[in-house]
Chain A
Amino acid sequence: MGVIALDRLEVRLGGRTVLNGLTGELRGHAVGLLGPNGAGKSTLINTLLGFHDPAGGSAKVLGLDARTDRMRIRQSVGYMPENDSFIGNMNGVRFVRYMAELSGLPPAAALERAHEALFYVGLGEVRYRKISTYSLGMKQLIKLAQALAHGPKLLILDEPTNGLDPTARQRMVQLIKEIRKEGSMHMLISSHLLRDIDETCDEVLILNKGRIAAISNIEEERRSHRNFIEMEMTGKTEAFAEKMKAMGCECARFAGGRVKVVMPDALSQRDLYMAAAETGAEIRRIQTRRDSLEDIFLRAMEYDGGQPRGPQQQVFVAGVKG
């Protein structure tokens, strides 16, 4: 069973369709949620938490229906919102204890877990200070502490590194990695920063215009990715791509004359130059590199509806694209 299962999920807000027919199952231990502004990331999170009722289809979290089992879902989920959200008049330990008690912990256990969670995220020394006096980084950490305190099965982090300086960001990323490594809970991490997702997640869900643009297992991608050659070309790149495909290569074309090629072992770079000469294309720049999450994301952004791409399709689309 997946952590999150979406079946033709449709959400309408103010008469506008924000999520449109999302279907997919997320099984990863740490799932990244990517997409440009307005893609529907926060709406999806709010729907999973039961704040928005689906207009159609269904969403399941840990096997529980988001429409009918919202209280049981919230019991099992720790949520760290993107924006400032706390009670500034309370000190750290009281706030985290309050949130833990709301999640069902008895008062004594909540107090114990609040202390532990605050030490765990590195706020042990300031836990008796009012939250309103915390720095931005501390405020992010206390949101993480309250999300962790009741021992959730799924941790939803909405832009956890938002507004953090490089040191605080690194600390947050390290914490997320440790939680993932500990292995007792799943994570759904929404972020604009591909690097954060790349470092912390093993699966990624990319949304674009309210639709799923890609679901990709980053770990599998990393394992399956061979080195590829990226070129900037002018001239007849389409014919070049067809030629490479005929030679047994996987080839993808992008805007601006960028072409990526994965070659069989039998071929060498010399064959590239020869193919370019034969097809009337010119290679302006060439470099060998590995596919990155950024490539997956950019390709997904070019995608315009229909079925989301599977792992093999997103890495290298055989033939011409673009």
Chain B
Amino acid sequence: MSVFQHDYRPYEGPTTALWKRPLVLARYGLAEAWGSKITVGLGVLALLPCVVDLVLMYLADNPVAKMLVVGGSKVLEINERFFLGVMETQCWFALVLAAWIAPRLVSFDLGDNALPILLSHPVSRFGYVLGKFIALTLSLSYVTWIPLLVLFVYQSYASPVPWVMGHLGIAFGMFAGATVWIILLSLIGLAVASWVKWRVIATGAMFAVIFVPAGVGAIASTVLRTKWGMLLNFPVVMSELWQRLVGAPSILPNRVDLPNLAIAAVLIAASLACVAVLNARIRAREVVRG
């Protein structure tokens, strides 16, 4: 083909490797997600707490500034508890961002019945989900473990006393905890978006999936006088996990002592359920029926 002649000519150039095709989906997914001003606004908003934390760390690490602002108080102590608080804040911003972005990644494809044409190209169902998953996890990384590790690095640099070697566990804990959370959020987000065609409803459904089971779990725990109902409460489960990974004391008023195995089991079960839903929904829509 050529524009001026309007003739067809076959393509004889190079082609990319098959494994790179999900990356094409991820790249277009990222562009789609961040093409919205609301996404950019949420992204900026999600970084504001980090700016505040950065200022607090500066004050804590600068003896003169600390003396001027808070005197000799230990309020501004940078430790596991401080980073746990920062992490919890960022991770809940990630939920908001996921609830907004995930439907944008999938609902356009479902709304216009694009899956048959997308999957008629050399990309499998798994590749399609992987591409969208990469786009979502990268977007959520931007507000979770990336700024968290930047804060950790800053604290390592700014601390007047040797600090890093004694607190490397915090960095690992924040990275691991945030990674578990964004993987879970991405899977839930994609599963919900594949089920609900309308973006606004999908966004609401995402919050519902997180908080409705929490309410049910709380009721079950109260009625049955057991702690196991809390396993349905993702906020509690994740708080427990983050606190253990970072090595900080719990910041929940009523601490529930859930076994590690139970926490791992509930997270794996939720992830597998999301994968099953995704597989079923995309398989059902990959060809035009009827």
Q: Which residues of B contact A75 (CB under 8 A)?
A: 15, 18, 122
Residue with the greatest number of chain B CB neighbours at <10 A, chosen from A42, A52, A75, A101: A101
Say yes or no: is A109 at the interface (Cβ < 8 Å to chain B): yes
Say yes or no: is A102 at the interface (Cβ < 8 Å to chain B): yes
A151 to B7, CA, bound (A): 13
Which residue in A85, A120, A178 is a CB contact (below 8 Å) of B116? A85
Chain A residue at minimal CB-CB distance from B113: A85
Please choose the segment from A179-187, A281-289, A301-309 that sits at the chain B interface, where 4 or more of its residues have CB less than 8 A away.
Answer: A179-187
Which residue in A77, A82, A89, A102 is a CB contact (below 8 Å) of B118? A102
A104 to B18, CA, bound (A): 7
CB atoms of A105 and B13 under 8 A apart: yes
Chain A residue at minimal CB-CB distance from B283: A51
Q: Mostly helix, strand, loop or mixed at chain A's interface?
A: helix
Q: Which residues of A contact B123 (CB under 8 A)?
A: 74, 102
Report, as a range, how many residues of chain A touch the other chain.
35 or more
Count, A-B residue pairs, CB within 8 A: 119
Chain B residue at minimal CB-CB distance from A43: B287
Please choose the segment from A142-150, A195-203, A234-242 that sits at the chain B interface, where 4 or more of its residues have CB less than 8 A away.
Answer: A142-150
CB atoms of B13 and A102 under 8 A apart: no
Given contacts A74-B122, A182-B8, contact A120 B1 (CB under 8 A): yes
A115 to B18, CA, bound (A): 24
A146 to B119, CA, bound (A): 13
CB atoms of A102 and B14 under 8 A apart: no
CB atoms of A98 and B112 under 8 A apart: no
Given contacts A85-B113, A88-B111, A109-B11, contact A102 B122 (CB under 8 A): yes
CB atoms of B3 and A124 under 8 A apart: yes
CB atoms of B6 and A120 under 8 A apart: yes
- Chain B positions within 8 Å of A, measured between CB atoms, are 1-3, 6-16, 18, 21, 24-25, 28, 32, 108-109, 111-124, 286-288
Further pairs besides A74-B122, A131-B112: 18, Cβ < 8 Å? A51-B287, A52-B287, A71-B18, A72-B122, A74-B121, A86-B114, A87-B114, A89-B112, A99-B121, A102-B123, A104-B122, A105-B15, A109-B13, A113-B11, A120-B6, A146-B117, A151-B9, A151-B11
